[in-house]
């Protein structure tokens, strides 16, 4: 299994889902720029690719949102049949995206804690409270 990484920044662009090849393989790209607290004077946009069913994870993501992406680095080799030269491709494959508040906390709702079960030997009607 490949190692997983996180990257936090501001969404600059969310692409449309498109098909690649004859088998209908789908991809969708998102560009994440420098984080809001970045002190860099040069922009650093990074492209992440979401594939197949993960394309739908970008549906609610809007330009200008602060987001954290969980991703893996994928690579592959392709041998050019005309020249016999090997070419290498690297891809940052998005696995999860989480839209954040300005302070870095998630905008996803936190699930409510589960209600504790009543003790099995005490009837519910006889509880002292």
* 116 domain-assigned: no
What is the gyration radius of the CA atoms in the chain, in angstroms? 22
* 127 domain-assigned: no
Q: pLDDT tens digit string along 11-34? A: 999 999 999 888 888 999 999 999
- Give the CATH number of the domain where residue 75 resides: 2.40.50.140
Structure tokens given for 120 = 């099995």
What range does the domain containing 82 cover? 4-105
Q: Is the pLDDT of residue 107 over 80?
A: no
Please state the domain count of the chain: 1
What is the average pLDDT across 102-120? 57
How far CA 48 is from CA of 27, 43, 60, 113, 127, in Å, comes to: 10, 16, 16, 34, 55
Q: Is the pLDDT of residue 123 over 70?
A: no
Per-residue pLDDT at 110: 46
* 79 domain-assigned: yes
Classify the C-alpha dihedral 112-118-123-125 as positive or negative.
negative
* 122 domain-assigned: no
* 93 domain-assigned: yes
Q: Please tell me the least confidently modeled range out of 68-72, 86-90, 102-106, 114-118.
A: 114-118
Q: pLDDT tens digit string along 37-82? A: 788 888 889 999 999 999 999 999 999 999 999 999 999 999 999 9
């Amino acid at each position: 299994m490949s190692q997983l990484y996180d990257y936090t920044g501001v969404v600059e662009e969310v692409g449309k889902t498109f098909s690649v090849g004859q088998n209908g393989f789908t991809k969708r790209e998102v560009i994440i720029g420098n984080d809001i607290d970045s002190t860099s004077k040069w922009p650093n946009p990074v492209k992440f690719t979401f594939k197949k069913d993960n394309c739908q994870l970008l549906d609610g993501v809007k330009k200008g949102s602060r987001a954290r992406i969980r991703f893996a680095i994928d690579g592959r080799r392709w041998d050019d049949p005309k020249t016999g030269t090997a070419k290498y491709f690297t891809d940052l494959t998005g696995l999860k995206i989480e839209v954040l508040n300005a302070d870095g906390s998630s905008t996803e709702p936190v699930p409510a804690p589960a209600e504790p079960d009543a003790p099995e030997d005490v009837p519910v009607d006889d509880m002292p409270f």
